[in-house]
Chains A and B, each alone.
Chain A
Amino acid sequence: MRSKIVTAAALIVVAFLAGACATSEQWAEWRGHTTHFASGDHGSFSLANNLDGKNPKVTRLDIENSRTQNWWGKNISVEPGQVIQN
């Protein structure tokens, strides 16, 4: 039980320190989207790419995740049936 409390406390400290290191631009981004990462996969992808976009590694799964989980927002469009009929 004691070890669980220590682990939880450590995680909270790490989360706080990580938050404290964010740049103003990153905070603005966060405020704009309410959550910094829409999903765990989005978070993993961003972290793997060092947040700055240098030497990116993009797999098809990253792309699929971004679409499936709809990282940011919905769109405005006509009904598919107006364009084409099944």
Chain B
Amino acid sequence: MSRPSVATALAVVLVAGVVALAYAGPADYVMPVDKHTSAKGRALAVKYQPQLLQFSEYVYHCLPYVEIRNGLGFKKVPKEPGDDRYVAVWIRAEQAPDAAFAALPLDRQASAMFSRYAIPMLKRLAAVPGFASDPDVHGFSVAVEWIKPGSDPNRPTMEILAMFADQASTRAFLGQTLPAGQYVEKMKKLTFFDGEKEVGRLPIEVWEDNFMATYKVPGYEMEKGKVCS
């Protein structure tokens, strides 16, 4: 092979490598098996890798205004003794500034984000085949983060609401045999972070919100061959 050909081939390989590193795909949003800090977590991550990838693909292609953060996987309540594993998704909801939202008290803002984003994520997680009958999947965790209204647009503050709930109560709530208020009370943890510290539990209310089921990003062109259901 001539010297220019070798140089061209190397350049192509280099560019391909850079492109591969730059563009995250659905698989990149699933937490690697070895990042789970216990054997139980790693075993669950291996067992449900296809399901997690499918979930990530759904979010990636069908909910482009949502981004999975810190890896989809089997996680636990911080500083909690034992090793109860929750199938966990942490999402960033990307939304434009909204005066009506900004005018709400903090607990109403958190309730709105919970109702809009966390409930549909819980429904989707609970529908994943296999979790319901797996005793190692203790429950579900959803964290939703959003830009604090009024924060510096060049260095926005991220507010986060995180919840952990066991499978039984979550399925009872989703099956409408457990009222929302009782479900919220029974959660193992429901806590709010203001960007700098953990604030604690807020009085969260849950209401119907079909935003995620109906909203379409204007002009969004889904990748060919992908279907959302």
Asked if B41 is at the interface of the complex by the 8 Å CB criterion, the answer is yes
Question: Quick check: B64 and A68 within 8 Å, CB to CB?
Answer: no
**Which of B88, B156, B196 meets A73, CB within 8 Å?**
B156
Asked whether, in the complex, the Cβ of A77 is within 8 Å of the Cβ of B195, the reply is yes
A-B residue pair count with CB separations less than 8 angstroms: 101
In angstroms, how far is the closest chain A Cβ from the Cβ of B70? 5
Interface of A is mostly: mixed
- In contact, B157 and A84 (Cβ under 8 angstroms): no
Among A57, A76, A86, the residue within 8 A (CB) of B36 is: A86
Q: Which of A64, A77, A78, A81 contacts B23 (CB 8 A)?
A: A64
A55 to B69, CA, bound (A): 30
Q: Does A67 contact B (CB under 8 A)?
A: yes
**In whole Å, how far is B164's beta carbon from the nearest beta carbon of chain A?**
8
Q: Nearest Cβ distance between residue A54 and chain B, in whole angstroms?
A: 10
Pair B143/A82 contact, Cβ less than 8 Å: no
- Give Cα distance in the complex from A63 to B41, angstroms: 31
Residue of B nearest to A74 (CB): B155
User: Which residues of chain A are within 8 angstroms of B31 by Cβ–Cβ distance?
Assistant: 86
The CA of A86 and the CA of B33, in the complex, are separated in Å by 10
Inter-chain contact A76/B221, CB cutoff 8 Å: no
Measured in the bound complex, the distance between the Cα atoms of B157 and A82 in whole Å is 16
Residues of chain B at interface, number, CB under 8 A = 49
Chain A residues contacting B198 (CB-CB under 8 Å) are 78, 82
A50-71: contact bitstring with B at CB < 8 Å (1 yes, 0 no)? Answer: 0000011111110111011100
Partner pick for B70 among A55, A58, A64, A84, CB 8 A cutoff: A84
Question: For the complex, is A72 an interface residue (Cβ under 8 Å from B)?
Answer: yes
The answer to whether B193 and A78 have CB atoms under 8 Å apart is yes
Q: How far is the CB of A39 from chain B (nearest CB, A)?
A: 9
Interface on B for A, CB 8 Å cutoff? Answer: 22-24, 31, 35-37, 41, 60-61, 64, 67, 69-71, 73, 75-80, 88, 90, 141, 143, 145, 147, 151, 153-158, 160, 162, 193, 195-198, 217-223
